[in-house]
Amino acid sequence: MSTLEIQLNRKDGSRVPLEMNAVTLPDGTVYGSCRDISKRKKNEEGQRIAAVTFDTQEAIMITTPDAEILRVNQAFQDITGYSAEDVIGRNPRIFQSGRHDEAFYQAMWSAAQDRQMVW
């Protein structure tokens, strides 16, 4: 069986990515199928963009809604001195310096949850 990715021109002129599979039987008969892989290609592009975005000089920390650290980038590790293994699965409270009161942290997390965080 062979597999090939192609672009098909639709009647309306747009293009659609397809995965073609074909098998040749001993008698020379060829059976084939095509599958629309638009969603997979879109996901792959999103992952590529995310990977490039994550590779920056700015520290990035990704958490769950419950504030469990899922991932940090290399800049985060360089700036904080914490390795990914040190922080993944933990709560960002581990970074509290003791110099700020509870109101500061409440305001910070409120801003982060509202997606209005600018530091």
Pair (68, 108) in one structural domain: yes
Q: Is residue 50 part of a domain?
A: no
Is residue 39 domain-shared with residue 61, that is, in the same domain?
no
76 and 39 in one domain?
Answer: no
Q: How many domains does the chain have?
A: 2
At 52-110, the pLDDT tens digits run: 878 888 899 888 878 899 889 999 999 999 999 999 999 988 888 888 888 887 887 77
66 and 108 in a single domain? The answer is yes
Domain carrying residue 12: 2-43
In a domain, residue 118? The reply is: no
Are 35 and 64 in a shared domain?
A: no
- Structural tokens at position 74: 């290399």
What is the pLDDT at residue 47? 87
3-state helix, strand and coil shares in percent for the chain, rounded to the nearest 5: 35, 25, 35
User: Could you say which DSSP state residue 79 is in?
Assistant: H
Residue carrying the six token digits 């310096």: 97
CATH classification of the domain holding 97: 3.30.450.20
What is the rounded CA–CA span in Å between residue 107 and residue 101? Answer: 10
Share of the chain above pLDDT 70, in %: 94
The answer to whether position 51 is within a domain reads: no
Q: For 19-23, 94-98, 109-113, which range has the lowest pLDDT when averaged over its residues?
A: 109-113
Token pair of 117 as six digits: 């965080």
Question: 49 in a domain, yes or no?
Answer: no
**In a domain? residue 52:** no
